[in-house]
Structure 1
Amino acid sequence: MSTESVQIHKTAIVTADRVGSGTRIWAFCNIQAGVTIGADCNIGDHCFIEEGVQIGDRVTIKNGVSLWNGVTVEDDVFIGPQAVFTNDRRPRSKQYTEPVATLL
Structure 2
Amino acid sequence: MTSETIFIHESAWIDDNVQIGDGSRIWHFVHVQSNAKIGRNCVLGQNVMVGPDVSIGDGCKVQNNVALYKGVTLEEDVFCGPSCVFTNVLTPRAHVERKREFGLTLVRKGATIGANATIVCGNTLGAYCMIAAGAVVTHDVPDHALIAGVPGRQIGWVSRTGERLGEDLICPRTGEAYQEKDGRLLAL
Q: After TM superposition, is the score higher than 0.5?
A: yes
Instruction: Give the match's secondary structure for 2:73.
Output: strand
- Give the structure, 1 or 2, with the largest relative contact order (CA under 8 Å, sep 6 or more): 1
Partners of 1:31 and 1:14 in 2: how far apart?
A: 5
Off by >2 Å, runs of 4+ in structure 1: 1-4, 89-94, 96-99
User: In the alignment, which residue of structure 1 is the partner of 2:48?
Assistant: 47
TM-score where L is the length of structure 2: 0.51
- 1:100 alignment partner AA: G
- Cα contact 1:69–1:86 (8 A) shared by 2: no
Partners of 1:80 and 1:92 in 2: how far apart?
A: 27
Alpha-carbon RMSD across the aligned residues, in angstroms, is 1.9
- Provide structure 1 residue ranges, at least 5 long, that are not aligned to the other structure: none
How many equivalent residue pairs? Answer: 103
Deviation at 1:83, TM superposition (A): 1.4
TM-score where L is the length of structure 1: 0.88
- Cα contact 2:36–2:50 (8 A) shared by 1: yes
Deviation at 1:9, TM superposition (A): 0.3
Deviation at 1:25, TM superposition (A): 0.3
Instruction: Give the match's secondary structure for 1:72.
Output: strand
Instruction: Give the match's secondary structure for 2:89.
Output: coil
Q: Deviations over 1:38-93 (max 9, x none)?
A: 00000000111111110000000000100101110110100000112133133449
Query: Is 1:57 aligned with 2:64?
Result: no
- Provide structure 2 residue ranges, at least 5 long, that are not aligned to the other structure: 108-188
Q: Aligned residues: percent identity?
A: 40
